[in-house]
Amino acid sequence: MSKGFDCATKLTTVTAKLLKAAGFDYVARYLGNSWKTFDAAEAKAIHDAGLNLISIFEKNSTYVGYFTKSQGIADAKEAEQYAKAVGQPTGTAIYFTVDYNAQSSHMGAIKDYLAGVKETIKDYKIGLYGSYSVINAMKDMVDYHWQTYAWSGGKVADFIHMHQYENGVSVSGISLDRNDIKKDPGHWGKVATVKASSTKTVVKKVSVPDSYTVKKGDTLSEIGAKYGLDYHDLKTWNGLKSDTIYPGQKLKLKKPTTKAKTNGKAIVPYPGHLIKNGSTGKDVIRIQNAVGVTADGLYGAKTEAAVKAYQKRHGLAVDGIVGPDTWNVMF
């Protein structure tokens, strides 16, 4: 059985080699265009270190309301585009995630989401990350199965490809989660046939207009990738509170001369105060949805425990308090 890890930290030539020397053979990293995602240069550093790369696509899959067929379609389109941009070979896996304590009543929504992914994704195999109950319920809907020990009550499915068994450990200065690789997880290695000159044409440099009119099927991430822009910037410049955009909507593609007021780098601005046991209100509800507990607006012991588990999984300081660091990872 081989050893692997997943992490939200960008790896360099040095850290990738250190982690290979620490005994790892596989690393799972995030596709996309955010603080925790990898690019073609990082993929090369990972492969040059002798590590196999596993691709993850995750946005805000931490509550049942996220899981709809339309969201699955949108995520599949984005994931496939980003996979091609970093040179991921066709036929390898992209893992989508259910990163919360999903209940039996949530499985229908998750199936709808995966149905959207399946009907949209064309060139890649589909993997799924989740608890024992999620992986069992979705077994026949995906090609690869990655179970976390979290929310699994000590159970481990016998058909899975990967098992995440420990969160939030530090190895060679990198906060990571440990995984057992039980069988081929749909990873990808160095692609010898891709030349440096050809990879430069994957994403063509185009001039950036002042604005863009949204077309049917567009997503913020796709628009950002087309023009070399971070979709978080697009949201800030246009005052958007969610990822939802509409055909005919006009988006600014350049930073306004008057700087938009914002706190930190979160899509939903940090409210400016600590949220902890005893707090109440709409921000508590938002946090409860993110960590998968009953959203009653009262920050009690259950919410605190769920926040601690979330912080541990994401390599944050584990104190059960939502400050700017935890908020910016959640939102």
Say whether pLDDT at 174 is over 50.
yes
- Which of 166, 181, 196 is the endpoint of a domain? 181
Question: 274 in a domain, yes or no?
Answer: no
Of the listed ranges 91-100, 174-183, 188-197, the least confidently predicted one is 188-197
Global confidence as pTM: 0.64
pLDDT at 272 (0 to 100) = 85
The pLDDT of 58-69, averaged and rounded, is: 94
Domain containing residue 298: 282-330
Are 116 and 232 in the same domain? Answer: no
Question: 34 in a domain, yes or no?
Answer: yes
Are 78 and 136 in the same domain? Answer: yes
Are 49 and 140 in the same domain? Answer: yes
Are 27 and 147 in the same domain? Answer: yes
Question: 299 in a domain, yes or no?
Answer: yes
Total domains present in the chain: 3
Q: How confident is the model at residue 260 (pLDDT cuts 50, 70, 90)?
A: very low
Question: 232 in a domain, yes or no?
Answer: yes
pLDDT at 204 (0 to 100) = 43
Are 159 and 290 in the same domain? Answer: no
Are 71 and 146 in the same domain? Answer: yes
Are 105 and 136 in the same domain? Answer: yes
Distance CA 276, CA 158 (A): 39
Question: Can you give the CATH number for the domain in which 54 is found?
Answer: 3.20.20.80
The pLDDT of 14-20, averaged and rounded, is: 95
Question: 28 in a domain, yes or no?
Answer: yes
Question: 297 in a domain, yes or no?
Answer: yes
| Whether the Cβ atoms of residue 32 and residue 61 lie closer than 8 Å to each other | no
Question: 266 in a domain, yes or no?
Answer: no
Say whether pLDDT at 35 is over 60.
yes
Task: Between 103 and 256, name the one with better pLDDT.
Answer: 103
Helices 13-21, 40-48: crossing angle, 10 deg rounding: 40
pLDDT at 195 (0 to 100) = 42
Are 110 and 228 in the same domain? Answer: no
Q: How confident is the model at residue 206 (pLDDT cuts 50, 70, 90)?
A: low
Indicate the pairing of strand 2-6 with strand 174-181. Answer: antiparallel
The pLDDT of 61-89, averaged and rounded, is: 96
Question: Which residues are bridge partners to 145 per DSSP?
Answer: 128
- Which of 124, 149, 181 is the endpoint of a domain? 181
pLDDT at 309 (0 to 100) = 85
pLDDT in tens, 262-280: 344 456 788 889 999 999 9
- Which of 230, 252, 274 is the endpoint of a domain? 252
pLDDT at 192 (0 to 100) = 41
Maximum separation of any 2 CA atoms in the chain, in Å? 58
Are 95 and 231 in the same domain? Answer: no
Q: How confident is the model at residue 240 (pLDDT cuts 50, 70, 90)?
A: confident
The pLDDT of 256-264, averaged and rounded, is: 46
Are 171 and 225 in the same domain? Answer: no
pLDDT at 259 (0 to 100) = 41
pLDDT at 126 (0 to 100) = 98
Q: How confident is the model at residue 187 (pLDDT cuts 50, 70, 90)?
A: very high
pLDDT at 193 (0 to 100) = 40
Of the listed ranges 8-17, 195-204, 268-277, the least confidently predicted one is 195-204
Structure tokens at 111: 């199936």
Question: 262 in a domain, yes or no?
Answer: no
Are 64 and 132 in the same domain? Answer: yes
Of the listed ranges 108-122, 151-165, 293-307, the least confidently predicted one is 293-307
Are 15 and 142 in the same domain? Answer: yes
Say whether pLDDT at 31 is over 90.
yes
Question: Can you give the CATH number for the domain in which 215 is found?
Answer: 3.10.350.10
- Which one-letter amino acid corresponds to residue 188? W
The pLDDT of 56-76, averaged and rounded, is: 96
